[in-house]
Amino acid sequence: MDPLRFIQITDTHLFDRAEGTLRGLDTAQSLAAVVAQVRARGSHIDGILATGDLSHDGGTPSYRRLVQLLAPLHAPIYCLPGNHDALGVFACALKGSQVQSGGCLLADNWQLIFLDSALPGAVHGHLRPAEFARLDAALRGHPERHALICLHHQPIPVGSAWLDKLMLDNAAGLFEIVDRHAHVRGILWGHVHQSFDATRNRVRLLASPSTCIQFKPGCADFTLDDQPPGYRWVELHADGNITTDVEWLD
Ligand SMILES: [Fe+2]
pLDDT digits (tens, 9 = 90+) for 162-185: 999 999 999 999 999 999 999 999
Lowest mean pLDDT among 17-21, 159-163, 221-225: 17-21
Percent share of the chain, pLDDT over 70: 100
Closest C-alpha to 57, from 13, 95, 22: 13
Residue 18 has pLDDT above 90, yes or no: no
Residue 97 has pLDDT above 90, yes or no: no
| Radius of gyration for the alpha carbons in the chain, expressed in angstroms and rounded | 17
Q: How far is the CA of 239 from the centre of ligand 1 (A)?
A: 32
pLDDT reported for residue 96? 81
Q: How far is the CA of 189 from the centre of ligand 1 (A)?
A: 10
pTM of the predicted model over 0.95: yes
Q: How far is the CA of 178 from the centre of ligand 1 (A)?
A: 23
Q: How far is the CA of 191 from the centre of ligand 1 (A)?
A: 4
Lowest mean pLDDT among 12-21, 136-145, 225-234: 12-21
